[in-house]
Amino acid sequence: MLKRCIYLLLLIVSPLLAFSNNDATALFKKGNDLYQKTKYKEAAAIYQKMVDDGYQSAALYFNLGNTYYKTGDIAPALLYYEKARKLSPGDEDIRVNIQLANSKTSDKIEEVPEFFIRKWWHGFLLAFSANMLAVLSVSLLLAASALLILYRFTGSVGIKKASFYLAIVLLVVGISAIFISGRQAYYFEAHHEAIIFSSSVTVKSAPATSSKNVFVLHEGTKVNILGSNNNWVKIRLANGNEGWIGTGDAKEI
């Protein structure tokens, strides 16, 4: 249990460390300046280099998605918008830009309606950003620890009672934030998604070129990944249709 809590704390704190050095901050600012000057390809190169070097944050992914959207590269724009959404699922700007980019894709797929309780729960989980959960959980746990120290050493009975009960409340809320972060991480782990990058791909009924053609997808469509077999990936669409595509036809979010 302790190991899991430590893992979850590291998971939610990691976005806070995304730009922890001056070089990354300067590089990010350079990309922003290029974007403001409408030099979108140059800005994309800067942001992409940061991603390739291992930096990650919702802001970085969002800005990279914006540069690709401006240059008309819808598939990579959607890829990085969706990556940004994973780190900041409640961000309204990300949601709107995903809708705008999706309006540029060829495939219009209607989602299978979700049971209302399940839909509410998922909406609740995705209302919080990783950064917010990180700040909230760490701050509350530190505050609870400080109050417990005060409880231990104060001589006042009134302060002792108040600090103890307030520490318990903060501890419960802090642990709840860690729990929500864990469930959010599990949600994204359970939803392996990808963006189609091929201009057109024929989805097969089985992982073989000789198998039956079932439907065709186009660049920018989001799919759920169900599994893999050699150089094939099994996918499912939001409407429930399933099939197999080549591993090179899509990039995982």
242 backbone dihedrals φ, ψ, rounded to 5°: -125, 160
Q: What predicted TM-score, i.e. pTM, was given to this entire model?
A: 0.72
Helices (H), 88-247: 92-102, 116-125, 130-153, 157-190
Could you give the C-alpha distances from 81 to 29, 84, 180, 250, in angstroms and in order?
A: 19, 5, 22, 15
pLDDT at 117: 82
- Strand, helix or coil at 73? coil
- Say whether pLDDT at 15 is over 70: no
Alpha-carbon distance of 189 to 109, in angstroms, equals 23
Instruction: Give me the mean pLDDT over the 49-76 stretch.
Output: 94
- The tens digit of pLDDT for each residue in 26-61 reads 899 999 999 999 999 999 999 999 999 989 899 999
**Average pLDDT in the 143-167 region?**
90
Of residues 25 and 205, more confidently modeled = 205
Superfamily (CATH H level) for 193-252: SH3 Domains (2.30.30.40)
What is residue 126's predicted lDDT score, i.e. its pLDDT?
Answer: 77
Instruction: Return the bridge partners of 195, or none.
Output: 222, 251
Residue 8 pLDDT > 60, yes or no? Answer: no
CATH class of residue range 21-102: mainly alpha
CA dihedral 130, 95, 126, 248 (to 10 degrees): -80
